[in-house]
Chain A
Amino acid sequence: MAEEEHITTRGTLVIALIFVAFFLLFYTVSWIWLSGVWHFGTP
C-alpha cells in the first residue's frame, strides 16, 4: 500500500482565525455603535 500523502491546510486555518477575530471585533463594535453608547461623527 502506498504511503498516505499528508497535506497540511494550516494556511487556511490562519485565515479562518483572522476571520473569526475580525467578526468578533465587528460584532462588538456594532453592539456599541448601534446601542447608541458611542458614535463616530461630528458632535
Chain B
Amino acid sequence: MTGEFRTCKVTGLKVHLPAEQLIKINAVSSVVFLLIGGILALLVILTRWPTVHLLDFKEFYQVLTAHPLNMLVFWIVFFEIALLYFVGAVLLNARLAAPRLGWVAYILMLVGALLLEYTVLIVGNENIVMFTAYVPLMASPLFYVGYILFDVGALLGVCLFFATIYNAKREGAYQGSLPLVTYGGVVAAVLAAETLIYGAITFIPTFFWSIGMYNMDPQVYRLVFWGFAHSTQQINVAATVATWYALSALTVGGKTVSEKFSRVAFLFYLLFINVAGEHHLLWDPGLTPAHKWWNTNYIFGLAFLASLMHAYAIPASVEAALRRKGFDKGLFDWLRNAPWGNPGFSAMILSIISFGVIGGTTGIIQGTEQLSLRAHNTWSITAHIHGIVVGGTTLAFMGLTYYVIPLIFRRGIAFPGLARLQPYIYGIGVMILSSGMYGSGAYGVPRRHWDVVGFGGSPFAFDFDPTAMFFVTIAGIGGVIAVIGGAIFVLVAVVSVFFGKRME
C-alpha cells in the first residue's frame, strides 16, 4: 500500500499516486476544452461586435452552441472532478477508493464530450440547437447520447469522491471534522449528484423523444433542463468558494476566522441555492405566481446570505493572516502589502470581485421576478453568467492551477512574468465584457443574436439607442482582452506541464 503513495516535500501531504494520475488527466483535459471554448468565445464576440461581424449566421449559431458546452460543461466539470479527487484523496492523506472506476468515469466523460463536439461542430445542421436545446428543437440522437455519457461519467466521479471520503474516515486517514476545503467539496459534490440526476432526467427522455419513442413536453423539459443547467453553476459556486478558502491558505496562510460561520454558509448553499435556476422560468406561465414569489423573495435570499457570509469570511481570513505577519497599521496596510505579484492571490481577489460585484449583484437583480421579466433574453443575463462563471469560477480555478502544477505535476511555472500578469488581463477583460453585456442588455439588446444592427434584413428590425451600441462595443473590447488573458493561461499551463522545470 505504501508504494502507492509519495510524500510531497512542500506540503508534507501523502499523495496517492493513482489519484494523482487521475487528477492530472482530468486537469489536462479541462485545459484542452478551455482552449477550444476560448477559440469559440473569440469567434462569438467578434461576430456580435457589429464593427467586425465575422461569421455568417449559420456558423455563428454553430459556434454559439459549442461555446457554452466547452466552457460551462467540459472545462468546468473536468476541472471539478480533478478538484474533488484532490480535496478527497490528497488533502485527507487518503487513497482514492477505486481508481479503476475513476478511469471508467473519465473515459465516459471524454467520449460524451467528443460526441457532443462531433455532432455540433462537425455534423452541425439539426444539432445547432443552442446550449438550452429547448424542445421542440430536436437534435440528432447522438447529441443526447453524448450528454448522457458525460453525465453518467461525471456522476461516477462524484460517487468515487464520496467513497473516498467514507474510506478515509473508516481507515483513520483524518481525525475529527473534515477540513473546511474538503467540506466545501462535499457540498459541491452533493449539489453535483443532484444536478447530474437532473441531467439524466432531462436527456434520457429527450433521447427517446429524438428516436420517436416518447412524447416530450416542452414545459417539463424547460423545468428539468434548468434543474440541470443552472445547478451545474451552483456546483461551481460551492467549488469556487472552496477554492477561495484553499487559495487563501496557500497564498497567505489564511484560515477562516470562524469555522462554524463558514460551514453554516456552505450548509445554506446546500439547502437553498437550488432554486436559483428557476430565474430562467420567471417569465414562464407554467409555474404559479405563489411558487415564483416564494422562490425569488425568500428561499433565494438565503442562498444570497450564504454568499455574503463567505464574501466576508474569505477576505477576513486574508486580512487576519497578513496582520499576523506584521502588516497591522491602519485599515488597509495589509491590503497594500498583500502578494499582488502572486498569480494565485491576484486570481483569487479578482475572482471574488467578478463573482460578487458583477455576477452576484446582477444575479440578485435578475432573480427578482419583476426585473427578470424585463431583462430576460437580453444580453444582461449573459453578463451575470460571465461575471459568475467566467470571471469567478474560471479565474479561481486558474489561480489554483498555479499551485496544482508544482504540487501535482511537480513542474515549475513557465514564463513567471506572464503568469503574474495573466489574472489581471483575464479578470479585467471579463469584467469589461460583462459590463458591456449588462449595459447593452438594459437597452434591450437580445442575447444570442447574430445581427443586432440589421437583423439580417428581417422586417422586424429594430433601431437601438446609439448608447446600446456603445455598450456592445465595450463588450467586444472586453471579450478580446479576456480571450488574450485566457490564451496566456493556456500557454503558461501547457508549457509548464510539459516543459516546466522538474521539481524534487
B-binding residues in A (CB < 8 A): 5, 7-16, 19, 22-23, 26-27, 30-31, 33-36, 39-42
Contact = CB atoms under 8 A, between A and B. Distances in A.
Interface centre among A9, A12, A36 (most CB of B within 10 A): A12
B5 interface: no
B257 A9 contact: yes
Contacts of B361: 22-23, 26-27
B324 A7 contact: yes
Given A27-B364, A33-B442, A9 B320 contact: yes
A19 B356 contact: yes
B323 interface: yes
B500 interface: no
B503 interface: no
Given A12-B315, A19-B311, A19-B356, A34 B442 contact: yes
B311 A16 contact: yes
Contacts of A39: 443, 465
Nearest to B315: A12
B307 to A, nearest CB: 11
Contact of A41 (B320, B356, B467): B467
Contacts of B312: 12-13, 16
Given A34-B371, A40-B467, A12 B319 contact: yes
Interface residues on B, range: 20 to 34
A11 B335 contact: yes
Nearest to A26: B361
- Tell me whether chain B's interface is mostly helix, strand or loop, or mixed: helix
B261 to A, nearest CB: 12
A42 B331 contact: no
B244 interface: no
13 contacts: A7-B323, A11-B332, A12-B312, A16-B312, A26-B365, A27-B365, A33-B442, A34-B371, A34-B375, A35-B370, A41-B443, A42-B465, A42-B466
Nearest to A7: B320
Contacts of B443: 39, 41
B334 interface: yes
Given A12-B312, A30-B371, A35-B374, A41 B465 contact: yes
Contacts of A8: 323
Contacts of B357: 19, 22
B487 interface: no
Contacts of B318: 12
Contacts of B323: 7-8
B249 interface: no
A26 B364 CA distance: 11
A22 B360 CA distance: 12
Interface in B338-357: 356-357
Contacts of A5: 324
B316 interface: yes
A29 B365 CA distance: 10
